[in-house]
Structures are given as C-alpha cells and as structure tokens.
Amino acid sequence: MLETPFHHYQHLRRFREIVQVLLRYSFDELVDQLGLTSLLFLPTRFLQQRRASETVGAPQRLRLALEELGPTFIKVGQILSTRPDLLPSAYIDELSKLQDQAPPVPLEDVLQVIETELNWPVHLIFQTFEETPLAAASLSQVHAATLNSGEQVVVKVQRPHIRPQIEEDLSILCQLARLAQEKTAWGEVYDLVDVAEDFANTLRNELDYRGEGRNADRFRRNFAAEEHLYIPKVYWSYTTGLVLTMERISGVKIDNVDGIRSAGMDTKAIALHSSRIIVKETLEDGFFHADPHPGNFVVMPGEVIGAMDFGMVGHLDRYLREDLARLLFAAVNLDAQRVVDQLLHMGAADAQVNRQALQRDINRLLQKYYDMPLKEIRAKDLVTEMWPLAFRHHLHLPSDLWLLGKTLGMMEGVGLKLNPDFDMFAVAKPYAARILRQFTSPKAVGEKMLSSAGAWGDLLLLLPRRIDALLSQLEQGHMAARMEIQNAIEISHYAERVINRLVVSVLTMALILAAALLLPQADFTWPWPVITWLALSSVVVATISGILLWLSIWRSGGT
C-alpha cells in the first residue's frame, strides 16, 4: 500500500509522470520531502541517468519542467510569476518567460467543438471560416471568420477534451499543496492549500468563455465615455462556455512605434491615452485588464486603442483601493513607520513579523527615492525592488495587488517606448487625489459609520443575553477562570453603564451619518429650508452627545 493518498489509477499515473519530470530536472529534494518516491516504478538512480542538463540554474529548470508538464502547470508558472511574496525574484523573472504556445488542433476537431456547442452546422453559422488559426495556445486556439451577416469576427475555441486533464491536474495540485503544507518549511510560512485553491478557481473561471465575454462587456460599460478605447463586441448568440465569438478588430500593434508613426499617428498622445486608461481602470473602477502585453492592444485610426483578450482580469474592491491609497500616501511622505502600520492593518504582515527589520528595509527603499523627481521614478523598478523585501519578510499582500504591480510595469514599458519622456505618476496624480477625496468625503465616512452602526446595533441586541449567560456561568462555577464576585449588583450596574454608553455611541454615530448625508444638500440661503435645519441640528446634537459621553468616561476613570 502506498503511503501517499493517491489510489485512483489515472491520478496515480499522472503523479508518476509529474514525479519523473521533477526528478529529470533535479528536484530530488522536493520529491523526497513530499514523500513521492514510492510512486515510481523505476529506481531513482535509473531516472537520474536520464536527467536534463544540470548546467542551468534552478529557476530555469523549474520553467522547463512546468512547460513539459503541460497547460495546467504552464498556467501555474504564469500565476507564480505575479507572486513575488511566494518566490525569490530570480524565479519570478524566469517564470515570466513562460511561453503558452502549442501545435494547432486539426480543423475537423475545432469544427466539431463549435457544432456541438452551438447546435448548428458551421457552414450555416459562418459565411467563411479560416482553416489556419490566428493563434494556438495550450488551452485554446483562435480562428478568423465571417458571419452570414457579413461581420468580421474571431472565434476562440477551447481545445477538445482539455477539461478532464485540467481537472485531474488541479486535483493533484491541491493534494500536493496539502503535502507541502505539512512537510515543508514553505508550508510553515504560507497557506499553500489556499494558494492552490485560489489558482484552481482562477483557471476554472478562465476555462468558461462566458466569463471572458462578460469581462469585455463590463470594460465597455466602464469606458463608455472614453473615445480613445475600443472594446470589441461579443456575439452572445455564438458564445458558450467553450466557444467565444467576438468582433474582429485590426490596427498597428501598440509597441510598433515605426508603424504607428508611418500611419501618421502621434505616439505621445497614444502613450497618454494608454496611461489614462490603465489609471482609470485601476484607481477608479477597481477592475483592470491583467494581461496587457503588446499583443493584446492595437492602435486603430484616430489614435484609438483597441483591446483584446479579456480572460485575465484583476479586481480591487473599494477597501483594498483605500488601503492602497493610504499605503502610497505614507510611502510618498517617506514614513516607513506608517507604511509598516498600514501593512499590519491590511494583514499583509503577520503579528510575529520582525517589525524593526521590516521598517529598516522599507526606510532604505524609500530613502533611495528621496528628492527624486516623480518623472524619474519608474513603476517597474519600484515594484521589482519590492520583490525581495516581500519575500524576505513574508508579506501576504492580496494577489491582485501583485498582479496590479506587474500590469503597471508592463504598461509603463509600452508608454516609454512610445514616449521616452513618459511619466506614469504625473498621469496618476490627479486620479489618486480624486480617489483620496472620495474616500474621505462626508458621504464615504457616513457609509462607513452606517456599516459600523449595524454591527454595534447587533452587539447591543446580543449584549444583555451574553451578560446574563456570563453571570449564570459564574454563579454555577462553570467558568474555567477563577473569579471572585464581590457583588453581583455592582456587575449589573457596570453592565448597565456599558450598555447606556453603547446606545449613546450608536445614536451619536447615526446623527453624524445623518449630518454627513444632509450637509452636501444643505442650502444656507436665508431662510433656511428644512433640510438645512436638520443637518445643523444633527451636527449640534452629535457634538453635545459626544462631549457628554467623553465626560462620562473621563469621570469614571475610563471604565
């Protein structure tokens, strides 16, 4: 009986393939740590004789091993290349080179997938369908076609029978993550099971092309007022989970500077448009294109940027964007202590982190940019310098933030190619200022208070029962801690004071919330309307309540 929990034959066979590839690329120590040697048919010494070249370093060997293991593991490498908190920078650089290319699927297999998914013969759907694919990757390939209505489209078709292989590999990855969690030093620092499950969820979403279509529609809505960005139309009548049909757009590749100039277009203006788009989608929308390599963007007539491939996107919710804004504000002010405080607030640094060492490293990084003009600071350099720091101190920033850093670096590279004087920070500054104003506006503060008020209200409803239960357990001797009750009446009075203060606190917050929502609409032209009287009354009563509450706490010695 095997010591490892892999009994299904198909999984066992795939496990053996994975172990053999790992050994061929000299990852013997990892195989031993995970206890996978027993899965092999052949002795390890025989496999060692068939090793690939050991003249290259471990990062290169890892990249080669992932490429040999196929689509799922190529995707793993691509995701890991955006996670400098998990791997040293040398691995990040190498995994960024992973190529997701594959031989094309025979045309008859592609047509079979389309007809099965759309329940209609291909020749009745498309007027023309190009036999040679425009691109062929490990999960899909793309063909040019013409609808019967005459519209030019591209059809993205998932490779036949790829899902069972993906699901098997994902199952294996999750089991490997559990083994690594238990048996490796890496597992003592990171929640590897959570990382594996997050990756599995990401890949499964990527395999459903309806999600990619919805992403495109969302980008189109977000940029409805932007005349310099074009998002191709999704043809939902010809789109399913395995087939995506979109409008075909054409233009000059965005990094083809000579081609853009030959077309009579202004490269500086295009750089400005592209940076404005990336800043808006990240800071304002919190929904950004996370695969902005030059092949996914073309420049169309009128200096309009056409975007393609919406399978990989990043999400930054309001709270994460607010945390990021605060973090950047502290960094701009060279306040290393405040940066560390914010990292702890975000949960990016564990409570056990060596705070002094982290603050020292951050201070060194910030001082490097002291008095340096913003236009000379490169986002890519800044993000790259953060990599070893994040790995050294095991910073657990959300994966979307690392994805954002890589995205900004790629877009900055395109911008600099179009315009050597390109300044990403100058473009971002007014957007960042507006975002900070939004986060600190009366309405935003009011919404936060309203959210907190709900939690306090729940606490008020539960507190009497909780105190009653606590007193009962104390009286019956069920509490493990040794406590002497001098006077149950004193405890009851104390609880009553606490509840009264909580009630006053909640009412005060409610009044502040009312003032925050009403003041922007107040009209101070005499005679004042009712809404102005209500707003000012809320401010006055909230102020008095707050002062009385503070005096009550102060007189009682803080209890």
Catalytic residues: 291
* Cβ neighbours, 10 Å, residue 486: 7
Query: How far is residue 395's CA from residue 344's CA, in Å, rounded to a whole number?
Result: 10
CA atoms within 13 A on the CB side of 320: 18
502: CB partners within 8 A, 6+ apart: 456, 459, 460, 463
Q: At what angle do helices 424-439 and 267-279 cross, to 10 degrees?
A: 30
**CB–CB of 305/273 below 8 Å?**
yes
Give 321-372 as a 3 state SS string. Answer: HHHHHHHHHHHHCCCHHHHHHHHHHHCCCCCCCCHHHHHHHHHHHHHHCCCC
Token readout for 14 is 């795939």
Assess contact for 282 and 410: CB atoms under 8 A. Answer: no
Residue with tokens 């006055």: 540
d(C-alpha 331, C-alpha 363), whole Å = 9
Cα dihedral 438→442→447→453 (10° resolution): 150
- Cα separation, 9 vs 251, in Å, equals 50
Measure the CA angle with vertex 554, ends 512 and 504; round to 5°: 35
Please tell me whether the peptide bond between 442 and the residue prior to it is cis, using omega within 30 degrees of 0. Answer: no
Measured between alpha carbons, how far is 397 from 388 in angstroms, rounded to an integer? Answer: 14
CA distances from 514 to 441, 449, 519, 524, 542 (A): 14, 10, 8, 17, 10
**What three-state secondary structure class fits 43?**
coil
